[in-house]
Amino acid sequence: MFITKTPSASLLTSHISRCIERTGKTTPIARHITSIRGPVIQCNSTLRLRQLNRQFATCSPAKAEYNMSSDDASHHNNPEFELSRVFNVSGKIALVTGAGTGIGLMATQALAVNGAKVYICGRTREKLDKVAHTYGQGIRGQIIPITCDITKKDEIAKMYEEIASKEKCLDILINNAGISTKTFQTEASSAEEMKKNLFENEEATFQDWDDVYRTNVTQCYFTTMCFLPLLQKSTEVNRGWSACVTNITSISGEVKTSQHHPQYNASKAAEIHLTRMLAQEIQINGLKVRVNSIAPGVFPSEMTAGDSGANQKSHVPKEKFEGKVPADRPGHDRDMAGAILFTVTNQYLNGQTVAVDGGYTLMAGR
């Protein structure tokens, strides 16, 4: 369509509307009127043109991102693939439970080193202070300790109030706190022997199962529900971002063997299902908070190594895993850091469990 005379406001508006409808683009309107010929005088039509220019120039860039197809071969979005954008947590507010050692400490470092303000909680103030002092220096983010027993609702509520008084929202929640208690001989040559090992054993108690579930499953549920308003607020105030919960579960909840601690494996299986259930219940209520889990294999921690050094780090000898997993080693800090950054930043990931196990489940079977 060619306009060879000064266009009226209505004609110009109609022409522009048809161009937009035909191209499906909401880029600045000048792009759609290159076919217009003839002088455009300073009148109502020009004023309308300026208004439309401003309107379309300020349209959501998110819409343009979702439709990158272009007839211009030089049109690209390469900057969107830079690591600093793909895994960007700079300025985010995070809470990591059980952050004094092991995987919780790895998660804390992965976030804080890359610019997040990370609240860390645990029952032992000394451990938390040591983490903040040792790993909070010379980094882009912050590490802030909060003492809390997350197996008690009143303490979870108190922690919520403390963070809510300082922050307008919470962008990332990592439920990492967990315990493993007794181990049992599960191998038996008869039903009587199996009963003796797993029922008559004095260490096989309801209280033991309750303690494990309380820390590994129940607190995960209550902590997520308590912080849900702050998480939802994050989605509302941060354009292009949905808040996230990442539960640290275990491949012990996926394999079919009990690995000599049936109460622990059962609890981790429950936590994996809880992850998917929470994701569903949250989204079905119209809230935009993603819930995923990471199921680690063996990583150095006080649970797997028995203790930790002065820097709160643990060590698992590589030799112990040669031939036992395809990776021939336990997990490294960087392996977990990559998984953490992936699950918290990927806006299209929800209700999923990511196994980071060096291939253990390939050998053990699920």
Q: DSSP per residue over 178-236, as a string?
A: -----------SSHHHHHIIIIISTT--HHHHHHHHIIIIIHHHHHHHHHHHHHHHHHH
Q: What is the pLDDT of residue 60?
A: 45
Q: What is the pLDDT of residue 222?
A: 98
Q: What is the pLDDT of residue 13?
A: 52
- Cα 96 to Cα 104: distance, rounded to the nearest angstrom: 7
- Cα 357 to Cα 103: distance, rounded to the nearest angstrom: 13
Q: What is the pLDDT of residue 220?
A: 97
Global model pTM greater than 0.75: yes
Q: What is the pLDDT of residue 73?
A: 79
CB burial class (10 A; 0-12, 13-18, 19+) of residue 234? buried
CA nearest neighbour of 100 among 68, 143, 137:
143
Q: What is the pLDDT of residue 61?
A: 47
Q: Give CA separation, 211 vs 100, 151, 215, 252, 275, in Å.
A: 20, 9, 6, 17, 20
Q: What is the pLDDT of residue 331?
A: 85
Q: What is the mean pLDDT of each run of 10 residues along the chain (366 residues)?
A: 47 52 49 46 53 50 59 84 92 95 93 98 92 94 96 97 98 94 93 96 96 96 98 95 97 91 95 98 97 91 62 72 81 93 97 93 80
| Contact assessment for residue 357 and residue 297, using Cβ atoms and an 8 Å cutoff | yes
Domains located in the chain, CATH noted = 9-69 (no CATH), 89-364 (3.40.50.720)
CB atoms within 10 A of CB 356: 20
Q: What is the pLDDT of residue 49?
A: 57
